[in-house]
Amino acid sequence: MKGFTRVFTTLLALYLIAAPEISEARLPRLRDEIAQKIDATEDLRFRTLDIRVAPGGHVTLEGTVKDKQTKDKIEVVVRSIPRVTGITNKIAVEQDE
């Protein structure tokens, strides 16, 4: 178990050293990159979403979409961006009437 703990601790330390910190000045660029990537995805175009990026790269998504598949797809697209470190997905799904 000691070997595992030592390897895990080493990997965690390397991650923390290598993880890029996103400065306040770069937050709008990351937000724009996220919006462009969502818009470039065929069936996600024309979605109105509120995208907020916190220092460190945590993204909060809000808005309304037609179904859960769309909500999930948006999250997958956002997670694919390297500087995104976490997501809070507050996107609501429209109720069928």
| Helix H or strand E segment including 50 | strand 49-53
When pLDDT is cut at 50, 70 and 90, the band that residue 1 belongs to is low
- The one-letter code for the residue type at 24 is E
List the 49-53 sheet strands across, edge first.
49-53, 58-65, 86-93
Q: What is the pLDDT of residue 89?
A: 96
Q: What is the pLDDT of residue 59?
A: 95
State the sign of the Cα–Cα–Cα–Cα dihedral 75, 79, 83, 86: positive
- Tell me if the pTM is above 0.95: no
- The one-letter code for the residue type at 44 is L
Rounded Cα distance between 7 and 84, Å, is 25
Q: Which domains does the chain have, with CATH numbers?
A: 22-93 (3.30.1340.30)
Rounded Cα distance between 86 and 2, Å, is 30
26-83 pLDDT, tens digit each: 778 999 999 999 989 888 876 678 999 998 899 999 999 989 999 999 999 999 998 9
Q: What is the pLDDT of residue 96?
A: 57
More confident residue, 22 or 67: 67
